[in-house]
Amino acid sequence: MKTYDPQAMYSDWMSQLVNQDKWQEWMKPAAAMNHLPMMDALKEVGAKIDPAVMSQLQGDYMREFGKLWQDFFVSKVPDFSDKRFSSPDWHNHAMHAYSAASYLLNARFLMAMAESVDASEKVKQKIRFAVQQMIDAMSPANFLVTNPEAQAKLIESKGESLAKGISHMLADMQKGRISQTDESAFEVGKNVATTEGTVVFENRLFQLIQYTPLTKTVHQRPLLMVPPCINKFYILDLQPENSVVRYAVEQGHTVFLVSWANPHESLSHVTWDDYIEEGAITAIRVAQDISKQDQINVFGFCVGGTIVSTALAALADRGEQPASSLTLLTTLLDFSDTGILDVFVDEMQVGMREQTLSQGGLMPGRDLASTFSSLRANDLVWNYVQSNYLKGESPPPFDLLYWNADSTNLPGPMFCWYLRNTYLENNLKQPGKLTVAGNHIDLGKIDAPVFVYGSREDHIVPWQAAYASTALLNPKKKTRNRFILGASGHIAGVVNPPAKKKRSYWTNSKLDAEPQKWFDGATEHPGSWWPEWAGFLGEYGGKMVKAPAKPGNTSYKAIEPAPGRYVKVRAD
């Protein structure tokens, strides 16, 4: 085995970091997005912690800290439980065990202080987030000098692990992001996004894919799927065994799907109105034309659900009702509760974005990806710092993380409108408050039965916020609405195929005004919620007819095979 001089390598590593022009650029997105709520929170906190509460916290801390010191001096290994310190290396040596235990004690004390601040809930949420970011970053697992696992690997490999770690870090600095998977193991169209289909329409904002039937007969009304424009559509078509797209095709639906363009400078002036008119409404019209159906089943996921619901409301204002049914997965229409993302949205931060982007420019996908990673920093940032850099391990191939790294830009004007009118001012839920694509927006005028899905552990769209859509849609005919709650989070809860027989979901036909009351009366079912959705779509798909022999029609001819060109454009 080749040998290395760890001290010389470390010195060389640090000199390279100092001289790397990309270092600051690489760190800028995370620093910018995390610094804003921290500084904002600290500036806003004029309130103090109640002296009695602070005294109690200090007393509790000193007692626990004193016990920890006593255990240390008598060589008693402290007892602690945290997955970051689960390796025996943390428990078999008193110094490392004490390091982990004291860190966890300090973390608990800091979070208790954050919880005790006398301030508004919005400010407290920012403080909690800022403190948690600091706590996560300062874990002894994140540093070579305090990580016994990394040190053991360094000795065992005679320095090779550190050499590989340096190589991984420098490669990531060139890419501008931390590698979470072996990206060389995947290629869009080869082993992800492989469901057979054809691009039958394209404009500057999207390509429309029509998927090849897998059944001899299909429902008369097609299904139009509108994914989020904030990332690539193939989260709905990763592998054949977990593809939402393929599942819908297998159920006998003619599936059309919007593949959004990854904006570059030519689209830097595109607005929210453009995404509604040239995007969702155009996709609806093409699907209607090709299928020769006045009504179609419409599907929106996350931001895609917000876009397609706005489009249907605009069409309703024009006297059109093209949706036979509407499916919304982890979608916000009422932005009263935006979960942890609320720490990034206030008048100052939105105003800053408007100053730089509202008249043109791009919101980089890298900044957005950094923001979402910071919401789960231990899992999506520091975990890879430890394994990739400190231990020199190469991340294994994982299709979901490959998709997660394939970020998309957003046009500045569109992004600013979206931030202000949804997250900041919550205007979308107010009938007639907004005018989009020349039409007054009233979600209550959409005349279609609705299937609403939320994920119980979703940190991006809290399930209670997804549930709130049931009050906005069909306000006079709420029996037309269904709500399904799935286990797990924003992505894993959605991508849960029946064949895996994993997780569970909850149903309750009575839509109470309070989401918790709905849940209290709900029934839990094992497995996937997809069959529930398939049954819903089947009700509104129309009669069964012979599957189309070829995609498109005389007006919309085949352009290229799925997944098309647009999805392959990288934001890097």
Count CA atoms within 13 Å of residue 208 on its CB side.
Answer: 29
Burial of 175 (0-12, 13-18, 19+ CB in 10 A): middle
Nearest to 318 by CA among 133, 442, 486: 442
CB atoms within 10 A of CB 416: 24
> What tokens were used for 379?
């899992």
Whole-angstrom distance, CA of residue 395 vs CA of residue 181: 5
Q: Distance between CA 471 and CA 140 in Å, rounded? A: 47
Q: Looking at 123, 141, 261, 302, which residue is catalytic?
A: 302
DSSP state of 407: B
Hunting for tokens 């996709």 — which residue is that? 283
Quickly count helices (H) and strands (E) in the chain. Answer: 22, 17
Q: Categorise residue 135: left if φ over 0, alpha if ψ from -120 to 50, beta otherwise.
A: alpha
Q: Omega before 563 cis (within 30°)?
A: yes
Neighbours of 289 (CB within 10 A): 14
Q: Is 229 a catalytic residue?
A: no
Q: What's at 479, amino acid-wise?
A: T
Would you state the structure tokens that stand for residue 216, as one six-digit string?
Answer: 């001899």
CA–CA distances in Å: residue 547 to residues 197, 209, 242, 322, 551? 14, 16, 23, 21, 10
Token pair, residue 343, equals 């720490």
Q: Compute CA distances 191 → 208, 354, 363, 397, 567, whole Å.
A: 20, 39, 29, 12, 14
DSSP structure string for 143-201: SGGG-HHHHHHHHHTTTHHHHHHHHHHHHHHHHTS---S-GGG--BTTTBS-S-EEEEE
Indicate the DSSP class of residue 546.
E
List, by residue number, the catalytic residues.
302
